[in-house]
């Protein structure tokens, strides 16, 4: 009789985590091999800069973006069978599609942006350095493989708290990348939306980030709905309709945010401004109604909401009529307030919820 191996004797949860690690390693290895082969065919017999136009960094970023999107989608879809994620199998078809697409896109774009930043900094550090095809192939393959490994692991362990962190990091990194690569150095003298009006990489990245972030907020609303439903079931929240109300407001905010990217100022001023104002009003409604809609949350949370409202109002007054700073500064303040509030809100919800590692059975949204 053969004794069971250590892996087979391990608890089921441990075996699942080991399986995810194995899949992540295999996925990273596959995309590294594919990216390496393609890069080798392109770069053979030539020398390339680390960054600037067609370069090693460009090859790496493209490889990471394309392969990361596929790996993220595969990993996130498979993770529906992991403990605590079974409830996602009950999502309506359109929500499931938006969920997978936006989570995958956010991971792929974040990884690609990090690759661009890394290679741009290396080029700046080693001014004038060029590398041969072998080095370019190795760097691209390693970048794609490591990114693929991280992406697969990340999407396989998504929680509401992780989504909030990814949302903030995604918006911050994409916006900073757009600001750093903007061809107009005086864009900030006008307003934040000026970043999306030029016909270049910077504007394309800025508008794409807004569209993807809008879809991501919709995905975020799905997780918020589930977490708030848990609080209602535990008797923490007073109103049974609160999860749906809050999630609907988040969805409206997401649609408005995507609309800001879909309709840049140079496409339609009216639609762009309507979406921007709609998002701001939706968030303000969330703050103002929170003592009623989220009745049962700790009093200090509502003080935080009041502080956010005062900060926005004070910032608006400093912009107009005081004229202390320009519209760009106020928009940055509003951006930080909105996404900062989302992060704190989720942490309060997580602290209150007694989460179980079992399926929620017939839960459906």
Give per-residue pLDDT as tens, 296-337. 999 999 999 998 888 888 888 887 787 777 777 777 888 888
Quick one: average pLDDT of 232-237? Answer: 90
β-pair partners for 130: 49
Residue 171's pLDDT band, with cuts at 50, 70 and 90, is confident
Residue 137: the pLDDT is: 95
Residue 135: the pLDDT is: 94
Quick one: average pLDDT of 86-104? Answer: 88
**Alpha-carbon torsion, ordered 298, 300, 303, 308, to 10 deg:** -100
**DSSP states of 97-154:** HHHHHHHHHHHHHHHHHHHHHHHHHHHHHTTT-EEEHHHHHHHHHHHHHHHHHHHHHH
Give per-residue pLDDT as tens, 181-198. 777 777 777 777 777 777
167 CB neighbour count, 10 Å cutoff: 21
Residue 10: the pLDDT is: 59
Which positions ≥6 away from 5 have C-beta within 8 Å?
none
Give per-residue pLDDT as tens, 288-298. 899 999 999 99
> Residue 340 in contact with residue 311, Cβ under 8 Å?
no
Of the candidates 34, 35, 33, 38, which has an alpha carbon nearest to the alpha carbon of residue 140?
A: 35
Residue 356: the pLDDT is: 43
**DSSP states of 196-252:** GSSSSHHHHHHHHHHHHHHHHHHHHHHHHHHHHHHHHHHT-SS-TTHHHHHHHHHHH
User: What are the residue ranges spanned by the domains of the chain?
Assistant: 14-158, 160-354
Task: Specify the 3-state DSSP secondary structure of 53.
Answer: coil
Residue 361: the pLDDT is: 39
> Residue 332 in contact with residue 194, Cβ under 8 Å?
no
Chain centroid to CA 196? 19
Chain centroid to CA 350? 19
pTM of the predicted structure, to 2 decimals:
0.82
Q: Which helix (H) or strand (E) holds 334?
A: helix 327-352
Quick one: average pLDDT of 1-8? Answer: 50
How many CA atoms lie within 13 Å of 102's alpha carbon, on the beta-carbon side? 28
Longest dimension (CA), the chain: 84
Q: 25 is written with which tokens?
A: 């390693």
**How far apart, in Å, do the first and last CA atoms of the chain sit?**
49
> Residue 154 in contact with residue 211, Cβ under 8 Å?
no
Whether pLDDT at 57 is above 60: yes
């Amino acid at each position: 009789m053969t004794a069971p191996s250590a892996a087979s004797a391990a608890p089921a949860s441990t075996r699942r985590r080991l399986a995810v690690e194995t899949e992540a390693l295999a996925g990273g290895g596959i995309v590294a091999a594919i990216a390496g082969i393609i890069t080798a065919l392109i770069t053979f017999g030539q020398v390339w800069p680390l960054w600037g136009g067609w370069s090693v960094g460009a090859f790496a970023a493209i490889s990471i973006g394309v392969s990361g999107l596929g790996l993220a989608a595969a990993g996130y879809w498979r993770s529906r069978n992991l403990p605590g994620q079974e409830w996602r199998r009950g999502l309506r078809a359109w929500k499931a599609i938006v969920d997978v697409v936006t989570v995958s896109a956010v991971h792929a774009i974040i990884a690609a942006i990090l690759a661009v930043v890394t290679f741009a900094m290396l080029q700046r550090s080693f001014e004038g350095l060029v590398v041969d095809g072998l080095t370019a192939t190795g760097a691209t393959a390693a970048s794609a493989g490591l990114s693929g490994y991280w992406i697969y692991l990340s999407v396989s362990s998504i929680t509401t708290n992780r989504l909030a962190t990814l949302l903030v990091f995604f918006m911050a990194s994409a916006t900073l990348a757009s600001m750093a690569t903007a061809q107009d150095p005086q864009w900030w003298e006008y307003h934040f939306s000026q970043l999306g009006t030029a016909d270049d990489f910077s504007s394309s990245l800025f508008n794409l980030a807004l569209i993807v972030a809008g879809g991501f907020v919709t995905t975020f609303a799905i997780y918020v709905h589930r977490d708030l439903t848990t609080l209602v079931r535990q008797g923490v929240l007073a109103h049974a309709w609160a999860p749906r109300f809050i999630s609907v407001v988040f969805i409206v905010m997401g649609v408005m945010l995507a609309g800001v990217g879909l309709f840049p100022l140079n496409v339609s001023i009216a639609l762009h401004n309507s979406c921007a104002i709609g998002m701001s009003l939706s968030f303000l409604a969330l703050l103002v109604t929170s003592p009623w809609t989220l009745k049962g949350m700790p009093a200090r949370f509502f003080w935080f909401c009041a502080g956010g409202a005062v900060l926005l109002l004070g910032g608006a007054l400093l912009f107009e009529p005081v004229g202390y700073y320009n519209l760009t500064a106020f928009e940055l303040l509003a951006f930080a307030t909105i996404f900062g509030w989302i992060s704190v809100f989720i942490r309060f919800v997580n602290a209150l919820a007694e989460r179980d590692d079992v399926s929620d059975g017939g839960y459906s949204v």
